[in-house]
Structure 1
Amino acid sequence: MTSIFARAMGDDFERLHPQLRRRFSVGLESGEACVGRGSMDRIWHGRAFVKPFLALGATRNILVPRTGRDVPFTIENVPYTDSHGRETVTFVRTFALPGGPRRFDATMVHSPERSCVLDYLGTHQHLATDLRLTAEPDGSLLIRSGEHRFREGPVDLRVPRLIGGDAEVRESFDDATGRFRIRVAVTNRRFGPLFGYEGTFRARYVDALRHGVRAGLRPVREEARA
């Protein structure tokens, strides 16, 4: 059993930079978790009317309604088996902004039915997004979001693209500095740029079993539907 990311990418996974292959091999088979610490050069959001929507999402640790420069950053990628028996990897990002830290939470599983990585956003996994991962010619990783779905109790709705956000994530490794570089942009096809951040970090790998999943890292609610 390979990592959830290697399963989704297939042979394309081997085209990634070796450091990216290791980072995205985090999982139950490798036995490794990854903690990245660094600084985001810039956190931004779109026009003023976007901020209330970002603030609403922030109540469930989805997106960040603040802006800043040179913001200390931590990302925690820890594998575990969720309550539905699926291998899951946390993507919990913490931005140490003035006035208090802000989190952007996600948990990811592999969906064989949808042939992609499924990204559950926020503390309650109400939003599920398909992610397509591809290796770029320079060995960097490009992640693009696909369909969004909202789940709560019996409610299971596809989010129209007109009001949803399209995410693009680019992650690379700089051999000269020994740091990962990440750039995230979320846009709406009608309203333009919504939110994003970019910066660098160093990764530290730890024994996943010994490290465990610290309190507060797992979502409050786990959604069974893919």
Structure 2
Amino acid sequence: PERSCVLDYLGTHQHLATDLRLTAEPDGSLLIRSGEHRFREGPVDVRVPHLIGGDAEVRESFDDATGRFRIRVSVANRRFGPLFGYEGTFRARYVDALRHGVRAGLRPVREEARA
């Protein structure tokens, strides 16, 4: 909370930690922008240089007319330009996790407390 961001671990082994900054946009969409990236494994905690990192921008919204969520993702490197992106729609299904439990494989690979 003191940094006004969410820390997310990315990748299959979740070694890449990135700051995410969330903004509610005037049109009702949620804009998520990535910040600093860090490689973390055990005691190793190093900043990823901008030369090899990517800046992500994700925009999510709900389309009342179709009853679907919309998402648009773009990731670019400051020096080399666009790396990848996608856009599409999806429907969400909400499940009572207290009643049904957490589906196998859904929990993060790593969970840790950091100051």
TM-score (norm 2): 0.90
Asked if the contact 1:141–1:172 (Cα under 8 Å) also holds between the matched residues in 2, the reply is yes
Q: Any idea what the Cα deviations from partners look like across 1:80-102, whole Å, max 9, x if unmatched?
A: xxxxxxxxxxxxxxxxxxxxxxx
Asked if the contact 1:186–1:193 (Cα under 8 Å) also holds between the matched residues in 2, the reply is yes
How far off is 1:163 after superposition? 1.1
How far off is 1:195 after superposition? 1.4
Report SS of the residue matched to 1:151.
strand
How far off is 1:221 after superposition? 3.1
Q: Any idea what the Cα deviations from partners look like across 1:141-166, whole Å, max 9, x if unmatched?
A: 11000011111122110111121010
5+ residue gaps, structure 2? none
Sequence identity percentage: 97
Asked if the contact 1:166–1:187 (Cα under 8 Å) also holds between the matched residues in 2, the reply is yes
Q: State how far apart, in whole Å, the 2-side matches of 1:149 and 1:128 are.
A: 5
Report SS of the residue matched to 1:133.
strand
TM-score (norm 1): 0.48
Kindly report the root-mean-square deviation, in angstroms, between the aligned alpha carbons of the 2 structures. 1.5
Is 2:55 the partner of 1:169?
Answer: no
Q: State how far apart, in whole Å, the 1-side matches of 2:36 and 2:78 are.
A: 14
How far off is 1:182 after superposition? 0.3
Report SS of the residue matched to 2:107.
coil
With over 3 angstroms needed to count, the CA separation of the structure-2 counterparts of 1:133 and 1:140, relative to structure 1, is: same
Asked if the contact 1:183–1:196 (Cα under 8 Å) also holds between the matched residues in 2, the reply is yes
With over 3 angstroms needed to count, the CA separation of the structure-2 counterparts of 1:222 and 1:125, relative to structure 1, is: farther
How far off is 1:216 after superposition? 1.5
With over 3 angstroms needed to count, the CA separation of the structure-2 counterparts of 1:181 and 1:223, relative to structure 1, is: same
How far off is 1:126 after superposition? 0.9
How far off is 1:118 after superposition? 1.0
Q: Any idea what the Cα deviations from partners look like across 1:69-125, whole Å, max 9, x if unmatched?
A: xxxxxxxxxxxxxxxxxxxxxxxxxxxxxxxxxxxxxxxxxxx24221111113432
The answer for the alignment partner of 2:35 in structure 1 is: 146
Report SS of the residue matched to 1:146.
strand
Q: Any idea what the Cα deviations from partners look like across 1:20-65, whole Å, max 9, x if unmatched?
A: xxxxxxxxxxxxxxxxxxxxxxxxxxxxxxxxxxxxxxxxxxxxxx
Aligned residue pair count = 115
With over 3 angstroms needed to count, the CA separation of the structure-2 counterparts of 1:224 and 1:169, relative to structure 1, is: same
Asked if the contact 1:125–1:222 (Cα under 8 Å) also holds between the matched residues in 2, the reply is no
Asked if the contact 1:124–1:222 (Cα under 8 Å) also holds between the matched residues in 2, the reply is no
With over 3 angstroms needed to count, the CA separation of the structure-2 counterparts of 1:224 and 1:124, relative to structure 1, is: farther
Q: State how far apart, in whole Å, the 2-side matches of 1:114 and 1:216 are.
A: 30
Q: State how far apart, in whole Å, the 2-side matches of 1:158 and 1:127 are.
A: 10
Q: State how far apart, in whole Å, the 2-side matches of 1:123 and 1:211 are.
A: 26
With over 3 angstroms needed to count, the CA separation of the structure-2 counterparts of 1:203 and 1:126, relative to structure 1, is: same
Asked if the contact 1:187–1:194 (Cα under 8 Å) also holds between the matched residues in 2, the reply is yes
Report SS of the residue matched to 1:204.
coil
